[in-house]
Structure 1
């Protein structure tokens, strides 16, 4: 059986000074946000906020200065992500671009693409969406049916549908995972990644998916004879599977995998502050112990990224355990506090509880379903 070790990150004075700077900025920038708004951090879309942190050099932090990046450490970037999520900042306008689409472009994009797009991401001016999931496919990305066919002039004609595409209606670009040869039975073979200009490409339509709270951030994206230029190909044709797995390692590796419901934990502790019950103390103690452990593991992933190693298996473990923590929290909160969840309530606890309960089902879906992740982990451990 393979032994999996999560290394400890190297602490630095620069990172801790950065943490203090980020906290001071967030205290001012988020002063007017309610606890319910803070609970919406992942889905909070605010271009002005993204521009503000871009102006402070907190996007594209590890990227080369040639493309506008800061050439700072992976752990310094981790500090910014951790603090913004813990504070409930609205991150959706820069989230995908900074976390995974930018690094993918940095590795596989042409020099023209990198110089045109990466500085805009760093400035908080460029929104990306992720074109992976499809109807009837879910987390089985290898079964993708969206197809791009090379035309005589070198361009690509794309047909197919992508599903659950967060903020596609606001995005400037999508990185599309699709099939460029063969069929779904070929699984990993014949897949590629293409860069899609969401504002300028004809034949692309975005249809809203309204969630349980009546809000619009999910979408279906349909490609109907959409034509992409020849240089839309990212990396090598037919190597899309390996490339998308690298992208998913970025998607699964950060502190967002256990901080999505952190505002509920904050409100729960506040609601229990006058409680003397042993059950409440034990429950909060367990939650805190789980949180500390997940944070240690997630920081270990940052250490692996800093060392240039592939943290795929480590990321899958953190993502699976983090989703379980996040999804258990609403039930634990309901068992400890006798308040009905209500989005309209004047009680911060009741409103945040209602939001988290309705958001929680997706925690174990995004970035790969629990079953897919556990299959990855089992294979790495030699159990299947």
Structure 2
């Protein structure tokens, strides 16, 4: 490899487009309208826990779902950096974006890159209109971050279609969404990374059984997705047979690098600042807030660098893994720091939106921060191998 090749963890310094400032103003005005409507409640983890299809459709009417998709397929054609401005405003406000989140973040770009023209023309306009919601079927028992060991099988049928058998775990939103992109083994090979393919599965098809997996809070966000001989037409193969691993690793750059990887608990920091405004603040409290703010700013710059790479069509999987590792650790640190700066007891039964209730919500969600999207230990292995190869 040439010495001039950029390091896989070299992040470009990003300047947002001139349109970003006006776009940010427009989004904040929209959020003010939604607060008046009672839909934006400033909650942590809103991209996971805020399922509101009506909100998603109103957002889509503004052109803010499927922003980076080409206008030919119903998108706005505005690029990943402008999309970044919109989603960081939504997450900072704790807006209920989980209904369209996976469709906008992963499924749309994946179908655009790997799908047939028939798939693009069917799915992408519906995604951009906030009318088609996706889940992702990757993880399994014994096959979480190590996706190459998946046991779900896809077998050819006599009619030229596929029959899927297996169980996907931690499939977010499968009980409410329309489709799932499922990774399955289509061929037995010595190389475990080969012989994998992706399929688009109708979540209401015969043979699909969805079993709830509840969080500690009792919330139903995740599921075991049982595929019990689900029959698919040949047209629901996404991309080329055997290219599933390559497609998934490219897709994970979208999943691991966005603002949701460090802003999930940001509304709790906002709540802390509002509480501190009503008190006499010590220098130590201000120091803790300053450290959190500095870390947020730094990780945001890295995350923007990945968005710029995606905008340019450049590989970003290693940089995305680094952002995810740093960002999700900060999410947990932020929650614990807020609890130490202002020792208010967490109370899940307190008034919704109050500081004790938001703190309890963030704490109950905290075990998942460093797990979802790939455990941080696995991500560090990806980063290390990338640096060794460089």
- Relative to 1, partners in 2 of residues 1:3 and 1:38: Cα closer, same or farther, differing over 3 Å? closer
Match for 2:58 among 52, 57, 79? 52
Structure 1 residue 313, shift from structure 2 partner = 1.0
Query: Is 2:382 the partner of 1:380?
Result: no
Which residue of structure 1 lines up, in the alignment, with residue 144 of structure 2?
A: 138
Change (3 A) 1:374 1:125: same
The reply on whether 1:279 has 2:284 as its aligned counterpart is: yes
Which position in structure 2 is the counterpart of 1:294?
A: 299
For 1:253, the equivalent position in structure 2 comes to: 257
What aligned pairs does 1:325-344 form with structure 2 within 5 A after superposition? 325-344=330-349
Cα gap change, 1:204/1:339 in structure 2, threshold over 3 Å: closer, same or farther?
A: same
1:162–1:221 CA contact under 8 A, matched in 2: yes
Aligned twin of 1:161: 167
Alignment check: 8 A CA contact 1:203 1:223 kept: yes
- CA distance in 1 between counterparts of 2:286 and 2:23 reads 33
- Using the size of structure 1 for normalisation, the TM-score is 0.96
Q: Deviations over 1:163-183 (max 9, x none)?
A: 110110111111001100117
2:78 aligned partner: 72
Residue number in structure 1 paired with 2:272: 268
In structure 2, distance between residues paired with 1:87 and 1:25: 11
1:3–1:45 distance in 2 versus 1, CA, 3 Å: closer
Whether the 8 Å CA contact 1:36–1:351 is kept in 2: the answer is no
Deviation at 1:73, TM superposition (A): 2.3
1: distance between equivalents of 2:357 and 2:240?
48
Q: Distance in 2 between matches of 1:24 and 1:375?
A: 42
Gaps of 5+ in 2: none
Task: Return the alpha-carbon distance in structure 2 between the equivalents of residues 37 and 22 of structure 1.
Answer: 15
Instruction: Name the CA distance, whole Å, in 2 between partners of 1:237 and 1:225.
Output: 19
Contact (CA 8 Å) 1:36, 1:352: kept in 2 or not? no
In the other structure, the counterpart of 2:362 is 356
Are 1:319 and 2:324 counterparts?
yes
Q: Which moves more between the two structures, 91-100 or 65-74?
A: 65-74
Paired residues, number: 382
Match of 1:93 in 2: 99
Match of 2:235 in 1: 231
SS at match of 1:169: coil
In the superposition, the TM-score normalised over structure 2's length comes to 0.94
Q: Tell me the CA shift for residue 149 of structure 1.
A: 0.5
Offset, 1:36? 6.3
Q: How does 1:7-18 map to 2 (within 5 A)?
A: 7-18=12-23
Residue of structure 2 equivalent to 1:369: 375
Relative to structure 1, the CA distance from residue 374 to residue 383 in structure 2 (aligned partners, 3 Å threshold; closer, same or farther) is farther
2:46–2:91 Cα contact (<8 Å) kept: yes
Deviations 1:222-279 (A, max 9, x none): 0111111111111111110000001111111211110000111111122223233121
Map of 2:211 onto structure 1: 207
Q: 2:81, 2:307 within 8 Å by CA — same for their partners in 1?
A: yes
Displacement of 1:142 in angstroms is 0.6
**1:352–1:84 Cα change, 3 Å:** same
Cα offsets for 1:148-169 (capped at 9, x unmatched): 0011221111110001101101
Q: Matches of 2:370 and 2:17 in 1, distance apart?
A: 33
Q: Deviations over 1:109-157 (max 9, x none)?
A: 1111111111010000111000001112221111100000011221111
Tell me if 1:29 matches 2:19: no
SS in 2 for 1:167: coil
Q: Which runs of 5+ in 1 are unaligned?
A: none
